[in-house]
Structure 1
Amino acid sequence: MRTLMPRLKLSALAVLALLGGCAGPDVQQYRAQQPALDLAAYFTGTTDAWGMFQRRGGDVVKRFHVTITGTSKDGTLTLDEQFRYSDGTSQQRVWRLVRGADGLWRGRADDVKGEAIGELAGNALRWQYTLLLPVDGSTYQMRFDDWMFLIDDCTMINRASMTKLGVELGQVTLTFRRRACAP
């Protein structure tokens, strides 16, 4: 019986991972939605974002503000993100994004394992990647499934699910606002 329990737990995790990987809408269902998102046009310049991380039970663990400076050169969109967290800590992430011939966006950042993949359709972007997340001296590989929706020319909303081994651990919610739109 003792050897059976670990196998059952592993099997249950495998089933959850498979179900989690298959779930979710197809970004193409938003292809007719307006305004259409032009990723490079939206993020070129300075954009502010306000967000929070919630555990899967709903508790807000951290709030943050991000200042994003976007530049576009030679087909590469660079996003320099400066995070300021509610606990007083700060962080920087620099994304380098390129749109492929297949229409998919591909991106890299120092704290992202491998390549991030983004599919754009209409007003929506689905952005998937594995973030190397430092917590209490350890680094965890967390899978992010971001959904960004352009609301108007100035405002975009992002909701991301954070999972490990197919189990959702929490969600990140962000609201982006382009500074060029400030009154």
Structure 2
Amino acid sequence: MDPRSTAGGDVVVRTDRLTLRRARAEDAEAYLAWRSLPDVMKYLYQDPWTAQVAHERLATWEVGAFSEPGDTLMLAVDGPDGVVGEALLRWAPGQGQVELGYAFHPDVAGLGYATEAGRVLLSVAFEQFGFHRAFARIDAENLASVRVAQRLGMRLEARFVENDWRPADGVWASELVYAVLASEHAARRRR
């Protein structure tokens, strides 16, 4: 893994199979390939995207800062055949905490890309930006995402019962919070 920051402040990380780099406006069509799918978007608590929404969001993410609480760093995940998913860091309110997130096209499910991208996110969060704690908020029904968090060495810290409205299917959904500390992540990497 080779994390580095480019001259423009973009995060670019390469693994054996993936490249994570700042999402760009020209990625809108690729993002639309999974963000237009109801089965993907229900776990993101959003309606499926239209082409207009994709272009607007990607244009915003391309120039968005990541320097203070509330900021989001959206990374496109390039696989062997182009953009296959997304990975993000959202600077949480308070001191030293960051939320991580990921979404991938269902066509690449089971290839380990989400876990690989999650490892990159944790390394960038802790080693490049110096965060103290990283957490993921996951819909309790999203078992694939739960397994990713577990493979990343994150522990279940909370379960909120029917705390969020899921507009895609009109139900109250339960949320799981998984987290890991920088010190725990560093200890695992040393092993």
Q: Larger RCO: Structure 1 or Structure 2 (Cα < 8 Å, ≥ 6 residues apart)? A: 1
Same fold (TM over 0.5): no
Task: Determine which structure has the larger helix proportion and give its number.
Answer: 2
TM-score by length of 2: 0.34
Larger Rg: 1
Task: Determine which structure has the larger strand proportion and give its number.
Answer: 1
